[in-house]
């Protein structure tokens, strides 16, 4: 069950408490560990997608990000979605014209899946 699992942020907060870190030190620890996780992932990306992955991370730290992992000729797509709950939580949203957002989202999906079209598998990372 997705909801039963602690988010990455909660796990890192717990680690900071276990290390007796508070305030800015705890925040810096969480930020550093999150960035380290992303940098570890980039080590596995192929050269064609690694630089774009890093640039998207720098330009939009909480935006979707993707790349291709190549292990022994096997191409696996990697798609990172931050704040996954926000994509599926529609309770309380009043009706309004969101067609512009739908079009932008569809364009983003086209870009992602075009870039990942040469892959045989897809990892969707929704840890937050």
Task: State mean pLDDT over 54-62.
Answer: 86
pLDDT at site 103: 81
Cβ neighbors of 20 (< 8 A, separation 6 or more) are none
The sign of the torsion formed by the CA atoms of 103, 108, 111, 117 equals negative
pLDDT at site 95: 62
Task: State mean pLDDT over 22-48.
Answer: 89
Extract the tokens encoding 126: 């929704």
Backbone Cα Rg of the chain: 17
pLDDT of residue 90 exceeding 60: no
pLDDT at site 39: 84
Domain boundaries, the chain: 1-44, 45-128
With bands split at pLDDT 50, 70 and 90, how would you rate the model's confidence at 93?
low
User: From CA 112, how far away is CA 91, in angstroms rounded?
Assistant: 27
CB 105 within 8 A of CB 63: no
CA angle 16, 18, 20 (to 5 degrees): 70
pLDDT at site 91: 60
- Comparing 23-37, 78-92, 108-122, the range with the smallest average pLDDT is 78-92
pTM of the predicted protein model: 0.68
pLDDT above 90 coverage of the chain, percent: 32
pLDDT at site 114: 92
Extract the tokens encoding 61: 């730290």
Which residues pair with residue 66 across a beta bridge?
79
Length in residues, the chain: 128
């Amino acid at each position: 069950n997705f909801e039963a699992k602690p988010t990455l942020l909660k796990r890192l907060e717990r680690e900071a408490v276990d290390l007796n870190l508070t305030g800015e030190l705890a925040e810096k620890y969480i930020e550093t560990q999150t960035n380290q996780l992303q940098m570890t992932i980039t080590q596995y990306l192929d050269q064609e997608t690694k630089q774009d992955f890093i640039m998207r991370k720098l330009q939009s730290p909480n935006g979707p990000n993707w790349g291709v992992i190549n292990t022994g000729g096997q191409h696996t797509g990697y798609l990172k979605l931050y704040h996954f709950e926000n994509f599926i939580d529609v309770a309380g949203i009043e009706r309004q014209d969101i067609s512009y957002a739908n079009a932008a989202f569809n364009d983003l999906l086209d870009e992602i899946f075009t870039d990942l079209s040469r892959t045989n598998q897809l990892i969707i990372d929704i840890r937050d």
